[in-house]
Structure formats: C-alpha cells, structure tokens
Amino acid sequence: MKLVRYGPPGAERPGVLDAAGAVRDLSAHIADIDPDGLAPQRLAELARLDVDRLPAVPTPTRIGPCLGRVGKIVGVGLNYRSHADEARMPLPDEPLLFLKPASAVSGPNDPVLLPPLSTTTDYEVELGVVIGRTARQARTSEAMGHVAGYCIVNDITERTWQLHRGGTWDKGKAHDTFAPIGPWLVTTDEIPDPHGLAMQLCVDNETRQRASTGDMHHRIDQLIAYISQFMTLHPGDIITTGTPAGTALGTDTDHYLKPGQTMTTTIDGLGTQYTPIAQAARPTQDGHAARTWDT
C-alpha cells in the first residue's frame, strides 16, 4: 500500500493511493496514519480493503507528512562511501548516529525555511525506514520484521551549525521544516528489496545527487540491530539511512540552498517531493528584531 495524509497542517486525513494513483479516503477505517496504525495486523486489515470502493478524494490541495505523530528520527551519518569521501571524513566502522527532532517534520511539498543568517543550508536525499514494531536489542536476523514501510526523507542540514557551533551534529539538523517526509509511506510488501532503489535529488533543473540505496555501507537490518542496542525503537520512529555524494558540502558554497529554489527529490517506488525554499522570518521581541547568539 501507498499510504498518504492530506489536508491542512494539523488536520490531515488518512488516505491510500489506488491503482491509478488517485487518493482514496481511509477515514472510515483508521483515524490517522500514525504509530497506532502501523502494527502488522492493522496494516493487514487495511490491505484487505477494496480500495476502489473507498471514497475518491478530489485532487488534494496539500499532501502532508506521510506519518503523523512521528516519535524520533534517528539519523545515520556517512553511510555512503561517496558522501564520506566528499566530506573528507573516514567511513565509520560503527554507524554514526544523531537525532533529529519530530518538530523538524514537514510535508513533502511544504517550503523548507532557511534559518535567519544561514548561508550553508544543505540537502540530503535519504531512504527513511518507518518502524512498525518495537525493537529492543533486536537481532540482525529478525530486524526487518520491525519495519512497517519506507518513505523519502530529505535530511536538510545547516552545515555551519552542524560542524562549527560546538557539540553534536544535532544543532544543524533540528530546525523547523528540516525533515520533509513523504509523499507516501509505502508498506514493505511493495518494496521487496529496499537496497536496490534509485535515488535522485535536483535543485531547480540541476541534478545534484544520483545513486542507489544499494551503496549503503551499513544495511538496514544492521542499522536496526545496532541502534536498538542504545535506544528502544518504537512504532512511529524513523531511521534515515544516509545520503550519497553530491551535497553542497562536497562541492562548493554556490550549491547551498537559496530562497526561490525548488528541490525535486525522488526514490524509486516512494514518489517525489517538490519542495520550495523560502527564508524564515527572524523572530521579533516587542516589535524589534530578536538578538541571536552570534550577532
């Protein structure tokens, strides 16, 4: 199934795509596409529905994040050799982990907002793994049984905050809108080999990233087993599995994102994001521009 959420922010409704790619309403059968609906038996119930008998949805004005009430986003850094090479960093022996807050989640076509004073905001096309069953100290051999499905995640990153503001990478990964997810949450039965998917990201009409998920250094089963040693993975958590070469970090400063640009992000079988770039307004205090840490 290709599950989708549509409607205004905070009021999204659940849907599913039919064979023609049109959205059908699932509201009579499930309250939302969220952690409560990701259990294997619940997904099996939805799969038995006759999609063509569900109410057709007029072309939605907005596609929301494909998963509601995201728990935590566990990022995996430097998981493609090509990206480690361009970043001039060694390929890690153990997965390099960081956390991205759920407050960063946005819809696949919602604007990504560049933080005030940011000049080095970057893009990263990634395969997102959506957890459907609790994983705690999981074995590699059983790890894939904890997966509900897959989605596109664009791991937007402010590089200066990530690398030059002290501490962990999380600062550069956490800004609002820095995790567009969707358009679809695609269940595992439709993706028999998640390590054989072509992936691509373009900025305006220029291809910046093109690779295959088969180029991952640590595979999905290894990542689930490894991460679940350190933290419990709950239904509704997402693992972002790394990005290939072609990021702005690995090229030149002219490739960092600018207001008015549009990213087109695609992974085979998981749909396409069309994400515009906009400038976030600086916050104000009593009508005056707020002072930031480094101004």
pLDDT attached to residue 87: 85
pLDDT at 15 over 80: yes
Average pLDDT, integer, range 139-152: 98
Lowest-confidence pick of 145-149, 236-240, 248-252, 291-295? 291-295
Q: Are residues 139 and 275 in the same domain?
A: yes
Q: Are residues 133 and 268 in the same domain?
A: yes
In angstroms, rounded to a whole number, what is the distance separating the alpha carbons of residues 90 and 141? 28
Domain range for 276 is 73-282
Annotate 202-229 with b (16+ C-beta within 10 A) or e (fewer).
bbeeeebbebebebbbbbbbebbbbbbe
Residue 262 lies in a domain: yes
> Beta strands of 78-219 (E only): which ranges?
96-100, 105-106, 112-114, 121-122, 125-131, 147-154, 157-158, 179-180, 185-187, 198-203, 206-212
What is the number of structural domains in the chain?
2
Task: Give the confidence band of 291 by pLDDT, cuts at 50, 70, 90.
Answer: very low
Average pLDDT, integer, range 149-158: 98
Q: pLDDT tens, 2-12?
A: 999 999 999 99
The average confidence (pLDDT) of the chain is 94
Average pLDDT, integer, range 20-41: 96
Q: Are residues 78 and 36 in the same domain?
A: no
Q: Are residues 132 and 267 in the same domain?
A: yes
pLDDT at 295 over 60: no
pLDDT attached to residue 88: 85
Output the pTM of the full model: 0.94
pLDDT at 289 over 50: no
pLDDT at 287 over 60: no
- Nearest in space to 1 (alpha carbons), one of 165, 259, 184, 241: 184
